[in-house]
Every structure is written in structure tokens, then in C-alpha cells.
Amino acid sequence: MFKGNTEKKLTRKTIRNHHIVIHSILSTAVDWNIIVNNPAERAKPQKVTKPKAKYYNDEQVADMLDCLKSEPLMYMTMIYLAIDIGLREGELTGLKCEDINFDTCEININKQRHYITGYGNIEGRPKTDAGVRTVTASKTVISLLKEYKKQQNENRLKFGTAWQNGKYVFLHEDGSSISTQLPYKWFTKFLNRHNLPKLTFHQLRHTNASLLISSGEDIVTVSGRLGHADKNVTSHIIKSKEAQVANKMDEFYCKLKICT
């Protein structure tokens, strides 16, 4: 875990993560009566200051969506989903067809995939209980998902017995599962190719929150959709407002003249 360039200065976050692991190991040693006390208790790592959230404004989103028109349908659909309901990369690449209700426009987020060195892409549950949620997507995004599903069916016929029959929504052309790192890598190249302002794939979540809050949506509902809120407190509020929030995203797309 601690391998790497020892000459390179570690960030506060990395130091804090190392401290958490060491503290946990030594706490177990105390529980097993191997040592009397945990020396990591006396170490006080510096506080990690979170950088200010970065996101696109309305005009920048409009420029980005305009550039997406010339890109492959799979990636176009990915970016729209991230903008529309603020999916994390792991949640996006972990989506399965059964998670999407095309009639009600609801998407059930109950898993995520992440990459572990030596093991590859692993599927598991979201980090917190609040991460398990059902959100309503805009009709624009559901229409894109239907179109992408149709394209996959055409690919399945084209590849025949060579079709890999991957179990996730987003697949390579031959039906094999994509890497959890693909959305981030592709998005970075996409921004550079079109000379768009730098933004990470994860910051599309911040952009989603910014669009909804600027349109008058309350922070409790937005946090719940992103999987940040205390689910026990906000679930009843969120459920009643899901359709309203999805409609606001459709209204935004219509302003750009790209809605269905």
C-alpha cells in the first residue's frame, strides 16, 4: 500500500488515509492483546481542506452538449446521464437494464463498480445507505437510453456468436463490459478535443446540483438525488418531487432546443 515515489511529497489527504489504515491495524492489535495501547492515537495528521467544488454554468453546459452531438451515442448517453441525475462513474458503469424503468423514467441505483489493482473491476454496494436510491430521469435521457438500447440490439445481430453478452447497460461494441475508468478517460479527451474548459467526470455531479439549485430546487431534494442526504429524513420529500425535478431538466434541454 505504501509503495511509490518516496521523494515525492505526500498530500494531506494521502497522509490522512495512511493514518486511518495504520490506526485501524493497531486498534485490532490492541483488541487481540498484542499491544497495550494504540500509538496512532497520539498522531494528529493535519486536517484535509476540501477544494471548492468546480462545475459548468448553463452556458458551458450548452456548449458541451452541442459538442456531444458529433460523438458516439454511448458516450453521449453517459454524459447526459451524469448531467441529468448526477451519477458517479462507478454507479454509471454498474447500471444494468433491470435498473431502468422505461415507463416511469425511474432509475434504481443499488450498486457501483470500482477498480482494484490486481483484481480488476469489482461490483459492490454504494458506500453509504443513502447511495442506494431511486431517481427519476428526464424524458430526454430516457429517450437516449432507448436509442442506445436499439443500437446495442443492432450490434448483437452484427456480431452474432461473437457477441459477449455483457450484463451492464454500457458495453463495448462487441458486448463486452467497459472499464470503470473509461468514462473519465474518454471525457478528458473529449474536452481537450473540443477545447472545452477542464472538468473531471465526477464534477458533472456538481454541475447537476448547480443546474437544479439555480432553477429553484431545494438543497434537500438535490442532495437526496445525489445520494448524499440522510435517507430516513428525506426519502418522503424526495419521492414526491422526483417528477418535478426531472421536468426541470427537460425544461433546461428545451431551452437548448435538444429535447425530444
pLDDT tens sequence across 29-83: 999 999 999 998 888 877 766 666 788 999 999 999 999 999 999 999 999 999 9
Residue 236: the pLDDT is 40
Q: What is the mean pLDDT of residues 220-227?
A: 82
Pick the closest to residue 73 from 153, 167, 164 (CA basis): 153
SS3 58: helix
Q: What is the pLDDT of residues 194-211, one digit of tens each?
A: 999 999 999 999 999 888
- Give the residue carrying C-alpha cell 425535478: 245
Residue 118 burial (10 A CB sphere; 0-12, 13-18, 19+): exposed
Residue 85: pLDDT band (50, 70, 90) is very high
The winner for highest mean pLDDT among 21-25, 142-146, 222-226 is 142-146
Enclosing H/E stretch for 101:
strand 100-101
Q: Which of 128, 122, 136 is nearest to 110 (CA)?
A: 128
Grid cell listed for 40: 496512532
Q: What is the C-alpha R_g of the chain?
A: 21
Dist CA 172 CA 209 (whole Å): 29
pLDDT band of residue 11 (cuts 50, 70, 90) is confident
Q: What integer is the mean pLDDT of 145-160?
A: 97
Other beta carbons less than 10 A from residue 18's beta carbon: 14
In tens, the pLDDT along 91-128 reads 999 999 999 999 999 999 999 998 888 888 889 988 77
Number of CB atoms found within 10 A of residue 235's CB: 15
